[in-house]
Structure 1
Amino acid sequence: MADWKNLDELTAYKELEKLSPVDLKTVMAGESGAERVKNCSIPMAEGLAYNYAAKAVDGRITDQLEKLAAEAQLAEKFEELYNGAVINTGEKRLVLHHLTRGQLGKPVMADGVDKRAFYKEQQERIAEFADKVHKGEITNAAGEKFTTVVQIGIGGSDLGPRAMYLALENWAKKTGNFRMEAKFISNVDPDDAAAVLASTDVAHAIFVLVSKSGTTLETLTNQSFVMDALRKQGLDPAKHMIAVTSETSPLASSKDYLAAFYMDDYIGGRYSSTSAVGGAVLSLAFGPEVFAQFLDGAASEDKLAAEKDPKKNAAMMDALIGVYERNVLGYPATAVLPYSQALSRFPAHLQQLDMESNGKSVNRFGDPVSYVTGPIIFGEPGTNGQHSFYQLLHQGKTIVPLQFVGFRKSQIGTDVVIQDTTSQQKLCANVAAQIVAFACGKQDENRNKNFEGGRPSSIIIGDQLTPASLGALLAHFENKVMFQGFLWNVNSFDQEGVQLGKVLAKRVLAHDTEGALQVYSRLLEI
């Protein structure tokens, strides 16, 4: 059994704090910088590689991080997790999202069920359903094919699947794998559902309602909004809806749905893109074969994350460097900067994944911790971000570590030459330039044009964004967040911080208010 200790109780961490910091500008300059770029790369699955040359670490620090990983038993804790230990201590649950894409260790039994077999069964049911929709064997009441799929969900039921759909939409169109357009309704703001419905041929749309508990207020409200719109067009909502929920939820046996596909409490919402939550919408949009490729990429990266040596384990090294930056160097945030328009919503997904998982102030046993934990996560695709918030990143007083993602080839495979270079070459040139500019800076007598440099970054580089490489990329960040939670000794798999606002909102709607809550309610005319 692994030994769970707070970060500041670990001898390796105390020794890490004593090491003098690295002058990033010096080590990244000239030939030494060139050698670092060549030597600081860790292979990932599906042709990806994690390069940390522009991070403020050297051999002394990475050696100490290796000792920290060993003392914190990161590999052993991961092994316990995927073999079915109760890692989610807050809710006393197993953590099994890795099982949705493969078997890393021994079979995991829970509730008298082989959970890998259960998840695989749901994938097969979804694949069969999607195939029937695509072949026209499952149709609307008029016997016509569905052409659009609309997911109704919020949080992890929206952010991950939406990001994955957008990441693969152009790839699917280019490769002939595009089956149905997907749209998403998440916000309880009626303008969200109204806008989606206004642009959708609802008579040929199939709606996927995602709620594990079957009681999520925003999701059920949006379901009612959609059902009302269907009825107004003379359509039977039960012929246009499927559910993704738990077997014990009120949605599971409801006659309001064409079919119900199941997940369980061992899959957290923000970790659910590889479960039925992402599987239904992605299989309908692109075909079950594409979703299977996505799962294979994630499974391949999970296997690499089981490696004990952080110098061969990209997710573990990424996590260790992140903790060093957060707790030793004192950096409060991390910017996620994909140089790929297809990943436009990937930073938003990672924002939830990271901040909902590790935004904690007590350890996994409920005791307060004396150190900072998860960073603030934000980001936008490059080059858009360069014309937005990069000004602060380059010349502001706050140093923000940067996490770039880049691909050598675009998804569309075609391009145009303008001023002797293609658009993709310009994109790649920008990310290369930004890494060096942030690290090395530029001296100028005009202080307004002076760049201090010393801004650390890493980059994940791949050949092209495909379903398999997207799966590997997703798994990398899920495992990074997991390892950081282990290091901080927090429970990365509950989210009590989202509950209080929900409780108070219900009181407002029931007019059970007093004090400031009552006044705010009146100001908003509730």
Structure 2
Amino acid sequence: MITWNNLDTLEAFKNLSKAERVNIAEAMSGENGAERVKTYSTPMAEGLAYNYAAKQVDDKLLEDLQKLADEAQLTEKFEALYNGEVINTGEKRMVLHHLTRGQLGEAVNADGTDKRAFYKEQQQKIADFANKVHAGEITNAAGEKFTTVVQIGIGGSDLGPRAMYLALENWAKKNDTFKMEAKFISNVDPDDAAAVLYGIDVAHSIFILVSKSGTTLETLTNESFVKDALKNAGLDASKHMIAVTSETSPLAKSDDYLAAFFMDDYIGGRYSSTSAVGGAVLSLAFGPEVFERFLNGAAEEDRLGTEKDIRKNPAMLDALIGVYERNVLGYPSTAVLPYSQALSRFPAHLQQLDMESNGKCVNRFGERLDYVTGPVIFGEPGTNGQHSFYQLLHQGTDIIPLQFVGFKNNQMNTDVVIQGSTSQQKLCANVAAQIVAFACGKEDENRNKNFEGGRPSSIIIGEQLNPETLGALLSHFENKVMFQGFVWNVNSFDQEGVQLGKVLAKRVLAHETDGALKVLSDLMNI
């Protein structure tokens, strides 16, 4: 039987708090460091590996983390989730994003249908639609092919799909699977929509409106912006727009759209990149086959999430080390540092994924917690970040754990040799150097040039960023966040924290304000 208990009530956590601290600088120096790098590595799906040699762990601590995983029943809770139990207690819903890419356990039925079959049906409808667009069977009013797809959405309807598109854009161009350029409109700031619309040929563009409820204010506002642009160009908007929404929304059977593809309440926005939310734009941009490969990579990594042994379950291991860093070592934030320009928006996606999921101060039952939960997440691709905020990471007063991502080969398979090495070799040399520099530091009599070291990091290493490895990478972090939520006993699948500002904004627009809100509204000329 599964029990949901606060972290500070678990015996394994109490023992973990007493564990001897690992000195990373010593552990990562000389031959000890060489052996650690070889030993403290866990295989992931699709040839990736999670290497945690530069984390403050040793074999004894790993034993303690295993005991915590067992006592917190992490694999049992994951099993309950993918078998359709109501894990989202705040909204009294199942959590089914794993079903968009594979069946991990029993058949899950809801709303009178097999949910795996429902998600596959939507994926097939999207694939059929995308293939017709690419073949010129679905065209604009002039019978000409669409060349650009524009996604209109906000939050999880934008951040994940945008990050995934950018991650595969160059790969697709190099591998002759690039079908259509994709653009994204998310911010209600009119400059966002205007910038996109001024930069495309609207007559040859197809627009995807993404709104589960069909009532999202920012998204509907941007839809009106787009419809005006189409009307001004003498175009029928209904021949240029499709919807990704729920079956019960006002968009589902509207004549304003060429087609509608469905999602449901069991998949939160930040977990929706493998649903129709990501499927429509990615299938149109790269072809359905590429989206299918992306799903397969995620499914392979999901299967590793069912392993009870943390050394065989990279997402769970990553999660537990993160809990140790947050709740025992007291580190307040985590930097995500991909050494791949293709992952330029991946840290932004992880900000939402992690902070919207686990930024909670009450447990699953609404009771105030006496310990900290989700860390602040931020990041930027290397090597750009090295010339930006790494100063604080190396010599600042806070120790900030680091999560690197790196690939041995670039996506375009083109490079130049400068001063005896290629650009890719320079990139990889930098990430290797940073891991050791953060861990070991460097003594100097000049205090300004002294590096204390002791700064923990991990790295996910792969051969190349492609659809399969991207899917595995996405799944790793989704499952990491899930496992941490289980340990902290929070509901990682609602987001009440985004609601209050929306409610007050509606009051401002209705001129139903007083006090500070009225004065601020007047200052903003509303």
Query: Do these two structures clear the TM 0.5 threshold for a shared fold by scoring above it?
Result: yes
The answer to whether 1:230 aligns with 2:226 is no
Instruction: Give the deviation of 1:60 after TM superposition.
Output: 1.3
Partners of 1:384 and 1:112 lie apart in 2 by 50
Residue 130 of structure 1 corresponds to which residue in structure 2?
A: 130
1:332-347 alignment runs, 5 A limit = 332-347=332-347
The answer to whether 1:277 aligns with 2:277 is yes
Q: Secondary structure at the match of 2:207?
A: strand
Q: Secondary structure at the match of 1:221?
A: helix
Q: Secondary structure at the match of 1:483?
A: helix
1:383-398 alignment runs, 5 A limit = 383-398=383-398
Q: Secondary structure at the match of 2:143?
A: coil
Residue 413 of structure 1 corresponds to which residue in structure 2?
A: 413
Partners of 1:342 and 1:472 lie apart in 2 by 15
Partners of 1:472 and 1:254 lie apart in 2 by 36
Partners of 1:267 and 1:312 lie apart in 2 by 27
Partners of 2:16 and 2:59 lie apart in 1 by 12
Aligned AA for 2:232?
Answer: K
Residue 140 of structure 2 corresponds to which residue in structure 1?
A: 140
Residue 462 of structure 1 corresponds to which residue in structure 2?
A: 462
1:170-181 alignment runs, 5 A limit = 170-181=170-181
Partners of 1:178 and 1:311 lie apart in 2 by 38
1:177-210, Cα deviation, whole Å (9 max, x unpaired): 0000000000000000000000000000000000
Aligned AA for 1:113?
Answer: T
Residue 498 of structure 1 corresponds to which residue in structure 2?
A: 498
Partners of 2:419 and 2:96 lie apart in 1 by 51
The answer to whether 1:450 aligns with 2:450 is yes
Residue 435 of structure 2 corresponds to which residue in structure 1?
A: 435
The answer to whether 1:220 aligns with 2:220 is yes
1:296-347, Cα deviation, whole Å (9 max, x unpaired): 0000000011101101100000000000000000000000000000000000
Residue 523 of structure 2 corresponds to which residue in structure 1?
A: 523
1:79-136, Cα deviation, whole Å (9 max, x unpaired): 0000000000000000000000000001100111100000000000000000000000
Instruction: Give the deviation of 1:2 after TM superposition.
Output: 1.1
Aligned AA for 1:411?
Answer: Q
Residue 370 of structure 1 corresponds to which residue in structure 2?
A: 370
Residue 87 of structure 2 corresponds to which residue in structure 1?
A: 87
Aligned AA for 1:525?
Answer: N
Partners of 2:74 and 2:476 lie apart in 1 by 15
Residue 289 of structure 2 corresponds to which residue in structure 1?
A: 289
1:452-484, Cα deviation, whole Å (9 max, x unpaired): 000000000000000000000000000000000
Aligned AA for 1:444?
Answer: D
Residue 99 of structure 1 corresponds to which residue in structure 2?
A: 99
Instruction: Give the deviation of 1:414 after TM superposition.
Output: 1.2
Residue 26 of structure 2 corresponds to which residue in structure 1?
A: 26
The answer to whether 1:161 aligns with 2:161 is yes
TM-score (norm 2): 1.00
Residue 402 of structure 1 corresponds to which residue in structure 2?
A: 402
Instruction: Give the deviation of 1:19 after TM superposition.
Output: 1.0
Residue 76 of structure 1 corresponds to which residue in structure 2?
A: 76
- How much is the aligned-residue C-alpha RMSD, in angstroms? 0.4
Q: Secondary structure at the match of 2:119?
A: helix
1:178-327 alignment runs, 5 A limit = 178-327=178-327
1:375-394, Cα deviation, whole Å (9 max, x unpaired): 00000000000000000000
Aligned AA for 1:254?
Answer: S
Instruction: Give the deviation of 1:439 after TM superposition.
Output: 0.1
Partners of 1:290 and 1:164 lie apart in 2 by 12
The answer to whether 1:361 aligns with 2:381 is no
Instruction: Give the deviation of 1:270 after TM superposition.
Output: 0.0
Partners of 2:60 and 2:10 lie apart in 1 by 18
Q: Secondary structure at the match of 2:225?
A: helix
Aligned AA for 2:128?
Answer: E
1:471-486 alignment runs, 5 A limit = 471-486=471-486
Partners of 1:309 and 1:213 lie apart in 2 by 40
1:422-476, Cα deviation, whole Å (9 max, x unpaired): 0000000000000000000000000000000000000000000000000000000
Instruction: Give the deviation of 1:59 after TM superposition.
Output: 1.1
Partners of 1:499 and 1:326 lie apart in 2 by 27
Partners of 1:520 and 1:256 lie apart in 2 by 37
Instruction: Give the deviation of 1:159 after TM superposition.
Output: 0.1
Q: Which runs of 4+ in 1 moved over 4 A?
A: none
Instruction: Give the deviation of 1:511 after TM superposition.
Output: 0.2
1:7-86 alignment runs, 5 A limit = 7-86=7-86
Aligned AA for 1:103?
Answer: Q
Partners of 2:112 and 2:143 lie apart in 1 by 41
- Number of aligned residue pairs: give it: 526
Aligned AA for 2:308?
Answer: K
Partners of 2:332 and 2:113 lie apart in 1 by 42
Aligned AA for 1:156?
Answer: G
1:373-424, Cα deviation, whole Å (9 max, x unpaired): 0000000000000000000000000000000000000000111000010000
Q: Secondary structure at the match of 1:252?
A: coil
Residue 329 of structure 1 corresponds to which residue in structure 2?
A: 329
1:8-49, Cα deviation, whole Å (9 max, x unpaired): 010000000011211111111100010000000000000000
Partners of 2:167 and 2:442 lie apart in 1 by 35
Aligned AA for 1:165?
Answer: Y
Aligned AA for 2:419?
Answer: Q
Partners of 2:194 and 2:104 lie apart in 1 by 43
Q: Secondary structure at the match of 2:458?
A: strand
Partners of 1:310 and 1:79 lie apart in 2 by 15
Aligned AA for 2:56?
Answer: A
Aligned AA for 1:216?
Answer: T
Partners of 2:367 and 2:493 lie apart in 1 by 16
User: Which 5+ residue runs of structure 2 have no aligned equivalent?
Assistant: none
Q: Secondary structure at the match of 2:200?
A: coil
Q: Secondary structure at the match of 1:121?
A: helix
Aligned AA for 1:38?
Answer: K
Residue 488 of structure 2 corresponds to which residue in structure 1?
A: 488
Aligned AA for 1:514?
Answer: D
Partners of 1:207 and 1:123 lie apart in 2 by 18
Q: Secondary structure at the match of 1:430?
A: helix
Could you tell me the percent identity over the aligned residues?
A: 80
Q: Secondary structure at the match of 1:188?
A: coil
Partners of 2:493 and 2:428 lie apart in 1 by 36
Partners of 1:272 and 1:306 lie apart in 2 by 21
Partners of 1:394 and 1:300 lie apart in 2 by 36
